Amino acid sequence: MKKYFTLFSATVFLIMVALIIYPNFRYKVITEETFVAIQPFGEFSTKEAKMMQQEISDFYHVNVTLLKPIELPKNAYINVKSSRYRADTLIRFLRKNIDSNYDFVIGLTDKDISTTKYSNKSTKTIKEPSYKYADWGIFGLGFMPGKSCIVSTYRLKEKNFRSRFIKICCHELGHNFGLPHCFDTTCIMQDAAETIKTIDNVQLNLCNSCKKKVGYHEY
């Protein structure tokens, strides 16, 4: 018993030391040596994918490669309320298939994507009303921190299309870099809170606190 206790104490001590040395361990510092791949799915517009390649590289100052389009994985397809692809399955698929040359991959699709919204993630309690949130249509989803994210243009109507699309892609990549939702209303990492208006009201900008966390450089 004593042996286990010593082992436990030593582990706790090491974790604390690691946290002191690397307080920002959950954040990934992005540099010009960071490689991001864009993976278009199906018939996704090449023009829009190319535009996003430029925008992400301009915003985060990282290397962005546009990959050849591939089909959406069939196991992500679901038809609960309407034809959709599960965002969680798509980001797992992207993470699993990412070429080791890339640090991050962002998938782009024009199909509708969805996830389950929980009121309590640890107990997997679906947010009420559950018929609404069990399969909830979204703009994008990304692991935090993680290697992959997915953005869909399906819910982006013509109004402000381009700026909405860019902000959502930079937001989901921000999650991959380890950034959680931010309370600064001038920051693209704020929670869209189920409305596109939040996205329209924010400039394409990271607040100083988020910038610092990922080592963002102004050029």
**Whose Cβ is closer to Zn ion: residue 101's or residue 199's?**
199
**Whose Cβ is closer to Zn ion: residue 46's or residue 119's?**
119
CB of 67: closest distance to Zn ion in angstroms? 24
**Whose Cβ is closer to Zn ion: residue 92's or residue 211's?**
211
Return the biggest CA–CA distance within the chain: 66
Q: How far apart are CA 196 and CA 75, in angstroms?
A: 28
Distances (CA, A) of 31 to 132, 153, 172: 40, 28, 18
CB of 20: closest distance to Zn ion in angstroms? 24
CB of 149: closest distance to Zn ion in angstroms? 9
**Whose Cβ is closer to Zn ion: residue 37's or residue 182's?**
182
Looking at the DSSP bridge assignments, the partners of residue 38 are 66, 106
Query: Of 26-34, 116-124, 144-152, 208-216, which part binds Zn ion (CB under 5 A)?
Result: 208-216
Conformation bin of residue 40: beta by default, left when phi > 0, alpha when psi is -120 to 50: beta
Is residue 88 near Zn ion by the rule CB under 5 A?
Answer: no
**Whose Cβ is closer to Zn ion: residue 76's or residue 189's?**
189
Long-range contacts, 183-190 (Cβ 8 Å, 24+): 184/209, 184/210
CB of 138: closest distance to Zn ion in angstroms? 9
Binding residue for Zn ion, selected from 76, 105, 210, 214, defined by CB under 5 A: 210
Which parts of 180-199 interact with Zn ion (CB under 5 A)?
182, 184, 187, 189
Whose structure tokens read 């962005």? 64
> What are φ and ψ of residue 107, in 5° steps?
-90, 140
Binding residue for Zn ion, selected from 207, 213, 214, 216, defined by CB under 5 A: 207
**What is the token pair recorded at 185?**
């209303």
CB of 84: closest distance to Zn ion in angstroms? 19
CB 49 within 8 A of CB 106: no
- Pair type for strands 136-138 and 104-109: unpaired
DSSP character for 75? G
**Whose Cβ is closer to Zn ion: residue 105's or residue 210's?**
210
CB of 183: closest distance to Zn ion in angstroms? 8
Which chain residues interact with Zn ion by CB under 5 A?
182, 184, 187, 189, 207, 210
